[in-house]
Amino acid sequence: MKMVQILQTSTLFAGTTADEIASLLQCLEGRTDDYERDWAIIKEGDHTDELGIVLTGRVHITRHDFWGNRSLVADVAVGESFAEALACTALPSEVSVVTAERSTILFLNVHKIVASCQKCCLYHHTLIENMVRLLSQKNLELMKKIDHLTKRSTRDKLLSYLNSESRRQQNRTFTIPFDRQQLADYLCVERSAMSTELSRMQADGLVEYRRREFTLHHEEF
Amino acid sequence: MKMVQILQTSTLFAGTTADEIASLLQCLEGRTDDYERDWAIIKEGDHTDELGIVLTGRVHITRHDFWGNRSLVADVAVGESFAEALACTALPSEVSVVTAERSTILFLNVHKIVASCQKCCLYHHTLIENMVRLLSQKNLELMKKIDHLTKRSTRDKLLSYLNSESRRQQNRTFTIPFDRQQLADYLCVERSAMSTELSRMQADGLVEYRRREFTLHHEEF
DNA sequence: TACCCTGTGTTGGAAAAACAACATATATAC
DNA sequence: GTATATATGTTGTTTTTCCAACACAGGGTA
């Protein structure tokens, strides 16, 4: 798929035509870069003024504590973006951004997005409004993640996550972007305990699964 | 303290003079409202186009699951704001906003903030940039909260929270805005287990506390 | 002063999660 | 196809959290 087509599905460029996007990209001086799998695009402590939009592949937002425990904060798929908030502040990053597959990323300087731009393009104001919408959306997504973590038991965390994923993909049968270890890191539970709980849930008829493909049987939440 | 002085400390009006704020408030058609303690300003399921800025008092962002378990998402003090992201989307709220004390709130319509405004005020662009900064800041705060919840043990959650609060108040001795039950709801643990863990931490010399006043003894993280 | 109310700390038993070690299945490379 | 590496599931033990019930302290009030 061509870059412009992907961008039209993104929140940042929502409601703009292909021509307008082309014009905006020039104005914003965007750049693209390719990465192998497991490459750290941003490391903890880094700073950047650019947000990233995934054109191909997939990236994960991760964190490590002092004892080396990994936690997986978020999954970013094609057309989605990362580091918007980081790029809008002067602070160092508290998270890493790592490719989960070989990926192509478009980088855009947020200051060029937000700054008023008299000369170049008429569509710039749409872009600023989209930037506000994008940040709001991320905000609500983080809320949703907090919602999963708020659940006290492993089962409730799993149900909360699986239901939100089912709703997002608008299907009771869906594929998750994580393997078991990554899912455990995402929900902040222990992998083997989580596997055990998944088995119990399947035995209880709540869910069926095979590898990354899940089918929810009861509508919960 | 006068409203304009409080607003000058807020992220949204950062870098604007008192006169500019007065002009902007007219342009934005802001309104204020007073609330008794424990009043629900926003209920789960509600929608609004207005963000709120706390002028006096304090509000809490809360959530309830199906079994009635309360979770306390965030504390919002004077000069801080809430519902920015909600007001930027068309979605119903997943959280409630409840006064923790008798409070006065300034409400501002986000569309009026974000919309370009040719006629009225020159400072409007600063406002839009501040809106982006505000949303980014909220974003990073949510990240910080996720960071606390990511910790597996009650002790680590407490240390993570107490350290961040200590750093925020730039003092090893500080007062938290929660009673024990609220703190437990905020960290998503059980109150009595948390009390027990606090005792152990005090016995271990990590921390001293009396009611809401804490003193950290070791710099961790 | 005596009384209540609320917040906080303590305890012991029940339940759940973490941990470690291993078994099985699947994918990949040769 | 076989070998190898990786992903997933299982089991038994240890540790932690949850829960319920109660004890205690301090503040406010009659």
CATH number at residue A19: 2.60.120.10
Q: Residue A188: pLDDT above 80?
A: yes
In this complex, which of B136, B147, B188 lies closest to A88 when CB atoms are compared?
A: B136
Complete edge-to-edge strand list for the sheet that includes strand A81-82: A31-35, A103-109, A50-56, A81-82
Which residue among B69, B145, B150 places its CB closest to the CB of A71?
B150
Reduce the DSSP state of residue A155 to 3 states and report it: helix
Residue pointed to by tokens 């990233």: A52
What is the pLDDT averaged over residues A201-219? Answer: 88
Above 90 in pLDDT, residue B217?
no
Supply the pLDDT for residue A175. 94
Q: What was the pLDDT predicted at A65?
A: 77
Contact present, A161 and A199 (Cβ < 8 Å): no
**pLDDT above 70 covers what percent of chain B?**
93
- Range with the poorest average pLDDT among A15-24, B36-45, B141-150, B183-192: A15-24
Q: Which residues contact B189 (CB under 8 A, 6 or more apart)?
A: B154, B157
> What string of DSSP letters covers A23-52?
HHHHHHT-EEEEE-TT-EEE-TT---SEEE
- For residue A179, the domain's CATH number is 1.10.10.10
Boundary (domain end) residue, out of A142, A168, A201? A142
Mean pLDDT of B116-138: 79
Beta-carbon-side half-sphere exposure of residue B119 (alpha carbons within 13 Å)? 4
Q: Are residues B64 and B114 in the same domain?
A: yes
Q: Which of B113, B142, B171 is the last residue of a domain?
A: B142
Residue numbers of the domain that contains B212: 151-216
Confidence of residue B220 (pLDDT cuts 50, 70, 90): very low
Q: Give the list of residues 6+ apart from residue B96 with CB closer than 8 angstroms, or none.
A: B40, B42, B43, B44, B61, B62, B63, B64
A143-150: average pLDDT = 94
Does residue B175 belong to any structural domain of this protein?
yes
What per-residue confidence (pLDDT) applies to A24?
A: 85
Q: Tell me, yes or no, whether A30 and A83 share the same domain.
A: yes
pLDDT for B69-123, tens place per residue? 789 999 999 999 999 999 999 999 999 999 999 999 999 999 888 876 555 556 7
Q: Are residues A104 and A134 in the same domain?
A: yes
Using the CB atom, is residue A196 less than 7 Å from strand D? yes
CB A152 within 8 A of CB A185: no
Reported confidence tier of residue A219, pLDDT bands at 50, 70, 90: low
pLDDT in tens, B16-60: 889 888 888 888 889 999 998 889 999 999 999 999 999 999 999
Q: Is residue A100 included in any domain, yes or no?
A: yes
d(C-alpha A206, C-alpha B54), whole Å: 44
B169 within domain boundaries: yes
| Structure token pair of residue B144 | 């910080």
Residue B139 touches partner A, C-beta closer than 8 Å = yes
Mean pLDDT for A24-29 is 85
Read off the pLDDT of residues A3-15 as tens digits, 9 standing for 90 and up. Answer: 899 999 999 999 8
Are B97 and B61 in contact by the 8 Å Cβ rule? The answer is yes
> What is the H or E stretch that residue B8 is in?
helix B3-9
- pLDDT, mean of residues B170-175: 92
- Write down which residue in A125, A142, A159 finishes a domain: A142
Please report, in angstroms and rounded to a whole number, the separation of the first and last CA atoms in chain B: 36
**CA distance to partner chain A, nearest, from residue B114 (Å):** 7
The reply to whether B221 falls in a domain is no
**Are both B12 and B110 inside the same structural domain?**
yes
Among positive and negative, which fits the CA dihedral A194, A200, A204, A205? Answer: positive
Gap from B76 CA to C8 C1', Å? 24
Task: Indicate whether B106 and B157 sit together in one domain.
Answer: no
Domain co-membership, B168 together with B194: yes
Q: Any residues with CB less than 8 A from the CB of B118 and at least 6 apart, and which?
A: none
Chain D: nucleotides below 7 Å from protein CB are: 7-12, 16-21
In angstroms, the Cα distances linking B56 to A186, B17, B75, B135, B165 are 38, 21, 14, 22, 21
Same domain? For B13 and B57 the reply is yes
Chain-chain contact of A91 with B140 (C-beta, under 8 angstroms): yes
pLDDT at A124 over 90: no
Residue among A69, A128, A143 whose CB faces B142 most closely: A143
Residue B141 is encoded by which pair of tokens? 């705060």
Phi, psi angle pair for B74, to nearest 5°:
-160, 160
Residues B75 and B110 in one domain: yes
Which residues of chain A lie closer than 8 angstroms to B136, CB-CB? 84-86, 88-89, 135
The residue of chain B with its CA nearest to that of A70 is B150
Check: CB of residue A24 under 8 Å from CB of residue A14: no
Tokens encoding B106? 């300034």
Please list every residue in chain A whose beta carbon sits closer than 8 Å to the beta carbon of residue B153. none
A221 within domain boundaries: no
| Residue B74 CA distance to nucleotide C25 C1' (Å) | 45
Number of domains in chain A: 2
pLDDT at A27: 83
Q: Where residue B191 falls among pLDDT bands split at 50, 70, 90?
A: very high
Residues with Cβ within 8 Å of B153's Cβ and at least 6 positions away in sequence, in order, are: none
Residue B103 lies in a domain: yes
- How far is it, in rounded angstroms, from Cα A39 to Cα A81? 17
Average pLDDT, chain B: 89
What are the chain B neighbours of A69 within 8 Å (beta carbons)? 152
Cα A59 to the center of its chain, rounded Å? 7
Q: CA A62 to CA A181: how far, in whole Å?
A: 13
Residue written as tokens 């207005």? B50
